[in-house]
Amino acid sequence: MTLGTERLRTVEQIRDFLDGNGEVEFRPRDRDEAYGFVRRTLVRLDYDALGRAGKGTVREFLGKATGLSRAQVTRLIAQYRATGRIEDRRAANSGRPFACVYTAADIRLLADADEIGGQLCGPAACEVLRRQYEVFGDARFERLARLSPSHLYNLRRSRTYRTRRTLVEHTRPTAVRIGERRRPTPGGKPGHVRVDTVHQGDRNGVKGLYVVNLIDEVTQFEHVGAVATICEGHLVPVLEEMLAALPFVVRGFHADNGSEYVNHAVAAMPDKLHVPDFTKSRARRSNDNALVEGKNASVVRKWLGHDHIPQRFAPAVNAFARDVLSPYLNHHHPCLFATEVRDANGKVRRRYRRGDVATPYEKLKSLPDAARFLKPGVTFADLDRSAHARSDLDANRRANRARDELFRTIGQAIASAA
């Protein structure tokens, strides 16, 4: 120390020193110098002979002069009183940080994957990373394949990650005595589909197109379509096309009480396709169609947004949804499946576990004797070739490019018309 503190030999002198240097900070050159200074000060002031107030003053002085914390000073004084010495008792590797498991390159790779995939929830994002390495052999994801959902959020909060990324009208229900008012009971078998419509808004009195969302309850197989209006002439052909695209036999058709589905034209469609059950949601039971309602927000709004899309672009939007978006959702987009457990009180609760995350196609294949649910002429060998034609991120990147091109075309057409 170069402060000339050796002349401070009483508690009163130390108190005067502290009062005169309240805003000044002192730091020793290294830890050994600080420890030596502490021991010499304790010996010079005969620390053990001091009273309570004097010891407190000395502690404050040592903390001020060395820059050590109050707890550190207390430990050093205890060591001095016990042994008469002050030594560095840290282990040989003390102060070394833990080994970094995920490098900056891994974090940037995670940011790129989130940019492509639209920042999925933790379990689904981790499943994409695992599949990218284990299923599609992308060696860059070797470490990220073992990433846990909880630590994924830690990496998303890191500086490296953050520097890498930068009026809806509800349909009016109409009471029509068509369909059975009950909740579907699939019994673990695929083919019980739920359907809903999402309106792409009005602008200046001009109606926008409607997005049709159809999803299977058991496997979460999902097909998206678009129609100019929800009249039977536009809606029924698209619904038939979407149902025909499902790889398994359709056993049930469920809708809410919207007039676009609860009408005689749509009611005749299940009979035409030999679908035995046509059900509709019960009053004041919002969970009856909750699955497709949730997908409206997490899929339709994510991919097509909330903005107005004129009705004349319905064929282009439907082609994108049929040829690009729906295959990606079914073969490459992980979904969360609930496991029902019974607690100590006998109440059934749903748990979403990491091991239950899967794509709709993987879920279909995991069902017992899954081949018996497929339509005649459809095989898993053919479906496997479609599912593994490209990796998850490549399929996601392709869907992003197709969507961007779609909206670019729509924007240019609207601008030229204006």
The confidence score (pLDDT) of residue 374 equals 94
Same domain as 129, residue 11:
no
Within a domain: 299? yes
Distance between CA 264 and CA 250 in Å, rounded?
19
Same domain as 148, residue 78:
no
Within a domain: 125? yes
The confidence score (pLDDT) of residue 121 equals 92
Measured CA distances, 24 to 63, 70, 174, 331, 352 (Å): 12, 17, 78, 65, 56
Long-range contacts of 165-171 (CB under 8 A, 24+ apart): 165/111, 165/114, 165/115, 167/201, 167/202, 168/199, 168/201, 168/306, 169/199, 169/201, 169/202, 171/197, 171/199, 171/230, 171/258, 171/259, 171/260
Between residues 352 and 182, the one the model is more confident about? 352
- Strand-pair category, 252-255 with 277-280: parallel
Q: What is the mean pLDDT of residues 53-72?
A: 86
Within a domain: 153? yes
Rg (CA), the chain: 34
Same domain as 146, residue 63:
no
CATH code of residue 254: 3.30.420.10
The confidence score (pLDDT) of residue 2 equals 47
- Count Cβ atoms below 10 Å from residue 280 Cβ, excluding itself: 22
Q: Which of 15-24, 49-58, 126-135, 394-403 has the lowest mean pLDDT?
A: 15-24
Choosing from 33, 54, 83, the residue where a domain stops is: 83
The confidence score (pLDDT) of residue 99 equals 74
Q: Which of 51-55, 321-325, 362-366 has the lowest mean pLDDT?
A: 51-55
Structure tokens at 193: 């589909």
The confidence score (pLDDT) of residue 315 equals 95
Same domain as 270, residue 366:
yes
- Per residue in 223-271, pLDDT (tens digit) is 999 999 988 888 888 988 999 999 999 888 888 877 667 666 666 766 6
Q: What is the mean pLDDT of residues 403-417?
A: 92
Same domain as 319, residue 190:
yes
Within a domain: 171? no
Q: Is the pLDDT of residue 156 over 90?
A: yes
Q: How many domains does the chain have?
A: 3
Q: Are 194 and 184 in contact (CB under 8 A)?
A: yes
Distance separating the N- and C-terminal Cα atoms of the chain: 79
The proportion of the chain whose per-residue pLDDT surpasses 70, expressed as a percent, equals 86
Cβ partners under 8 Å of residue 45, min gap 6: 9, 10, 11, 14, 54, 58
Distance between CA 199 and CA 195 in Å, rounded?
14
Where are the extended beta strands (E) located within 182-334?
192-199, 202-203, 206-207, 210-216, 222-227, 252-255, 277-280
Within a domain: 89? no
Within a domain: 284? yes
Same domain as 333, residue 207:
yes
Average per-residue pLDDT for the chain: 85
Q: Which of 113-117, 257-261, 327-331 has the lowest mean pLDDT?
A: 257-261
Same domain as 157, residue 110:
yes
Same domain as 348, residue 244:
yes
Within a domain: 117? yes
Same domain as 390, residue 310:
yes
Within a domain: 267? yes
Q: Are 317 and 295 in contact (CB under 8 A)?
A: no
The confidence score (pLDDT) of residue 95 equals 59
Q: Look up tokens 């020193």; give the residue.
A: 17
With residue 362 as reference, give the H or E element that holds it. Answer: helix 360-366
Q: Is the pLDDT of residue 16 over 80?
A: no
Choosing from 131, 164, 197, the residue where a domain stops is: 164
Same domain as 131, residue 77:
no
| Confidence grade of residue 390 (pLDDT, cut at 50, 70, 90) | very high
Q: Are 223 and 367 in contact (CB under 8 A)?
A: no
Measured CA distances, 147 to 102, 108, 359, 415 (Å): 9, 14, 18, 45
Same domain as 196, residue 151:
no
Q: Is the pLDDT of residue 167 over 50?
A: no
Choosing from 19, 48, 83, the residue where a domain stops is: 83
Largest CA distance in the chain: 104
Q: Is the pLDDT of residue 122 over 60?
A: yes
Same domain as 157, residue 53:
no
Distance between CA 12 and CA 15 in Å, rounded?
5
Q: What is the mean pLDDT of residues 135-140?
A: 94
Q: Are 31 and 87 in contact (CB under 8 A)?
A: no
With residue 326 as reference, give the H or E element that holds it. Answer: helix 326-332
The confidence score (pLDDT) of residue 61 equals 85
Q: Are 186 and 218 in contact (CB under 8 A)?
A: yes
- Strand-pair category, 192-199 with 202-203: unpaired
- Count Cβ atoms below 10 Å from residue 346 Cβ, excluding itself: 6
The confidence score (pLDDT) of residue 168 equals 42
Domain that holds residue 114: 104-164
